[in-house]
Amino acid sequence: MLGVLLGRPGDLVARDEIVAAVWPTTVVEDNNLNMQIAALRRVLDQDGAPGSCIQTVPGRGYRFVAPVKRVEPAAPPVSDGSGRSIAENGQSLDPGALGQPSIAVLPFANISGDPEQEYFADGMVEEIITALSRIRWLFVIDRNSSFTYKGQSIDVKRVGCELGVRYVLEGSVRKTGDRVRINTQLIDALGGTHLWADRFGGSLEDVFELQDKVAISVAGVIEPALQAAEAARSAGRPTNDLTAYDLYLRAYAMVHSSAWQIPEALRLTEQAIARDPRYGPALAWAALCCHRLLFDGRSEDREADLQKGVDFARRALEVAGDDPDILANAALALASFGEDIGATMDLVDRALALNPNFARGWHLSGILRLWAGQPDIAIEHSETALRLSPRARVGATLLTIGAAHFASRRFDQAVPKLLFAIQEDPTHPQPHRFLAACYAHMGLLDEAREVVERLRALTSVAVRGTQLRNAEHAELYLSGLRLAASEAT
């Protein structure tokens, strides 16, 4: 793929051209191309100038924009007879040494005999993914993609191909009383061979140590030389209160499920915070819940929810340290509450510097760039989120992409993205608002009227201002909503 791009430096190379050149006899999904471009960027953009050397042209293709210098090829390496090549200095080169190790952590089976403990098993996997994501040399697929395999009969080779990863971690969790046991196995997805298996057990009080043990052991198998160095970077306990942890896990699952459950998710996170006032993940999640209540128009006391949200977000930042998730969630909440957009983008940039594989961080960065009046960058960052999490629920990210196309007056490109976002979560008002405004500006007033009627079944059509800081973008949005609403009266 790099050869195709370098063959036409500076030129736009269409996606279809790349696929035809790289996979001439194979049918591949678009996500495969996205993942390979992302892999090239991870290698080529390290320690380079700001921006990527591979530029995305939304909906069209890619352009290699870095300087290219042609040199004569060196003599081909010779083999040492073991399948490895020998460099001119006599050192053996592992054929995988130049590529970044990649892994997907699949949902662990809940074998507790209690379906109500599913959220605990899911939370265990979430924490292991977070611990692995702190290892800078390891590319980790986001949980939203790996969780699409939940409840399925797993073909590890297929998973590796679909997600573009070399390794797959699977396992099971048994929670009985105050005891937890985790069984795990690491599989090479290319050959389907088992590389390692182990079991970890302990009391609930040791749950965070168990998660770290699993993460460090997997990293050690993939790259033994880095095990000792990376072990020191594992995360500490976010809370010593296991009830607070349980409440947070329940709230986290609710927000990802449906917009209707956000009030209950806020109630649970507030209970967790009452038990541990310095529990960073719960503080940031509570701030986001307040943001959604205000943003969706479902707050029963706007001023109270605004003040609570600001307080939760600022307290989260006080204890965030180097936790990318807390930094990014608090940043989005503060931006929505009116804080300086540049400062909140800096917070998200810091989160992404700490964990470049953070799909949700790229998603939130896309939202902030949209609000800041940078729609093309918003699309690029949102597409990065989709590449890092190719099988996740994509409605929220497509909402950002659709809204960015809307702000750029590419209404025909915005409509399908917004329709998909509505299809994935019909209870979320925001894609309805953008779609109604979009149809109104396109002159499709009957369609705009239908969207407004559906929106009124969810919440009020009217909005108190907008998060869009660009005056032209804001007026485009508000005028479209006004026109759509007037047609529906």
Find the angle CA(449)-CA(451)-CA(457) to the nearest 5 degrees.
105
Largest CA distance in the chain: 79
Give the C-alpha distances (Å, rounded to integers) separating 135 from 11, 38, 182, 279, 301: 35, 18, 21, 23, 42
Give the residue carrying structure tokens 């599913």: 118
- Which listed CATH number (3.40.50.920, 3.20.20.140, 3.30.2310.20, 3.40.50.10610) goes with 102-231? 3.40.50.10610
- pLDDT tens-place string over residues 409-464: 999 999 999 999 999 888 888 999 999 999 999 999 999 999 999 998 888 777 66
Buried b (16+ CB within 10 A) or exposed e, 73-111: eeeeeeeeeeeeeeeeeeeeeeeeeeeebbbbbbbbbbe
Architecture of domain 360-489: Alpha Horseshoe (1.25)
For residue 272 the two structure tokens come to 């967790």
Residue 236: Cβ within 10 Å count: 8
| Dihedral, 124, 128, 130, 131 alpha carbons, nearest 10 | 140
Q: Where are the domains of the chain?
A: 2-64, 102-231, 238-356, 360-489
* Residues 489 and 461 sit within 8 Å (Cβ to Cβ): no
Answer yes or no: same fold for 238-356 and 360-489.
yes
Helix-strand-coil percent breakdown of the chain, rounded to 5?
60, 10, 30
Going by pLDDT thresholds of 50, 70 and 90, the confidence category of residue 88 is: very low
β-partners of residue 179 are 176, 203
Nearest to 291 by CA among 339, 337, 250, 248: 337
- Identify the sign of the CA torsion 461, 465, 469, 471: positive
DSSP one-letter string for 47-86: T-SSS-SEEEETTTEEEE-S-----PPPPPPEE-SSS-EE
80: pLDDT strictly greater than 60 = no
Among 30-34, 152-156, 375-379, name the most confident range.
375-379
Query: What's the full length of the chain, in residues?
Result: 489
For residue 397 the two structure tokens come to 């990210």
Give the residue carrying structure tokens 């300087």: 67
* Residues 481 and 489 sit within 8 Å (Cβ to Cβ): no
For residue 14 the two structure tokens come to 């269409």
* Residues 99 and 137 sit within 8 Å (Cβ to Cβ): no
Residue 137: Cβ within 10 Å count: 12
Kindly report whether the global pTM for this prediction surpasses the value 0.85.
no
Lowest mean pLDDT of 159-163, 367-371, 470-474, name the range. Answer: 159-163
- pLDDT tens-place string over residues 123-174: 878 878 877 877 766 788 888 888 888 888 888 888 888 888 888 889 888 8
Lowest mean pLDDT of 32-41, 238-247, 342-351, name the range. Answer: 32-41
Which fold is adopted by the domain 2-64? Arc Repressor Mutant, subunit A (1.10.10)
Residue 455: Cβ within 10 Å count: 24
Give the residue carrying structure tokens 């349980």: 246
Among 202-216, 244-258, 292-306, name the most confident range.
292-306
Residue 47 Cα to chain centre, angstroms: 23
The interaxial angle of helices 30-44 and 156-163, nearest 10 deg, is 70
- pLDDT tens-place string over residues 176-202: 888 888 888 888 887 788 877 888 787
Give the residue carrying structure tokens 């089976």: 109
Write down the mean pLDDT value for the chain: 81
Residues near 37 by beta carbon (within 8 Å), at least 6 away in sequence: 1, 54, 56, 62, 387
- Which listed CATH number (3.40.50.300, 1.25.40.10, 2.60.120.200, 3.20.20.70) goes with 238-356? 1.25.40.10
* Residues 403 and 434 sit within 8 Å (Cβ to Cβ): yes
